[in-house]
Amino acid sequence: MRDPDGLIARAGVRGDPDRDQHFLVDDRVLDRLPTYLEAIDADTSHLLEIGGGTGALTDRLLAVGEEVTVVERDRVLAEFLREEFADEIAAGELTVVEGDALEVDLPDFTASVSNLPYGVSSEIAFRLFPEGKPLVLMFQQEFAERMVAEPGTSEYGRLSVSSQHFADVELVESIPKEAFSPPPAVQSAVIRAVPREPDYEIDDEDFFLRFVKALFTQRRKTIRNAIRNTAHISELAEPEAVVEAADEDVLRKRAGAMAPAEFAALARLAIDVGEPER
């Protein structure tokens, strides 16, 4: 495997916290990341990496995947990847896509392993989740803990419901600051997301996610008041009709105590009687 510090030296770059660039340089962590896919027997025939940096993780993914596509926004780093991995590119094993992961067309990948830029990690994650593929993603520790949180805990929120709607999400490893160059201000963590169908039915996924977002903006209010106060977010034309039709036990709850299936049932009711915008 290529040495992470050697890659940085050959690239002639330094990580830049102001640009959300923290290069993962701990060999042990880099070596472990692909194993989280292997542990679930995931299809590794075409791996996607978001934020290739200087290629330390790219190198490990090439060792386990038949084909790897790496998306890198930084022009200098994308050019370095093309030079460093010229042989792998020539062999058809690696494709380097220069551009913003939120804007470029993604390939038909089978799984993704990525050390995401933390400033846009939420947006990228929710671009990847609907693809329905296994994901091993690195986030800030606090963000990862919110993804896996259970109802009734202080960390549970919109992120928990939205993430767990798409997949079984597990925090598999915490990563110390010293594993990066330069060290970030916060600790990091790795989650593994295994896609599956939710154990509840929804009629409109876009509305469901928007409705969850709306109710969590008023997490200290009862569901009754949250429905009434957030029609501008949920885009319900008749929020009062939802309140009148909903079960009183649900209306007394707060968003942080609602399981995903309860949100789904309430969202179905809201679609039936609340006249949401489509």
* 211-236 tens-digit pLDDT: 999 999 999 999 999 999 999 999 99
Planar angle of CA 254, 260, 265, nearest 5 degrees = 85
The string over 106-127, giving b where at least 16 C-beta atoms fall within 10 Å of a residue's C-beta and e elsewhere, is: eeebbbbbbbbbbebbbebbee
Q: What is the pTM of this model?
A: 0.94
Lowest mean pLDDT among 89-98, 117-126, 167-176, 254-263: 117-126
- Say what the pLDDT of residue 21 is: 85
Cis, bond preceding 182 (omega within 30 deg of 0)? yes
Confidence check: pLDDT of 151 > 90: yes
Nearest of 21, 1, 3 to residue 184 by alpha carbon: 21
Q: Are 164 and 209 in contact (CB under 8 A)?
A: no
Q: What is the pLDDT of residues 33-76, one digit of tens each?
A: 999 999 999 999 999 999 999 999 999 999 999 999 999 999 99
Q: What is the pLDDT of residues 12-28, one digit of tens each?
A: 998 888 777 899 999 99
pLDDT (mean) for 155-168: 97
Q: What is the pLDDT of residues 164-199, one digit of tens each?
A: 999 999 999 999 999 999 999 999 999 999 999 999
- Say what the pLDDT of residue 19 is: 79
- Say what the pLDDT of residue 43 is: 98
Q: What is the mean pLDDT of the chain?
A: 96
- Say what the pLDDT of residue 15 is: 84
Euclidean distance between the first and the last CA atom of the chain, given in angstroms as a whole number = 51
Confidence check: pLDDT of 248 > 90: yes
- Say what the pLDDT of residue 278 is: 75
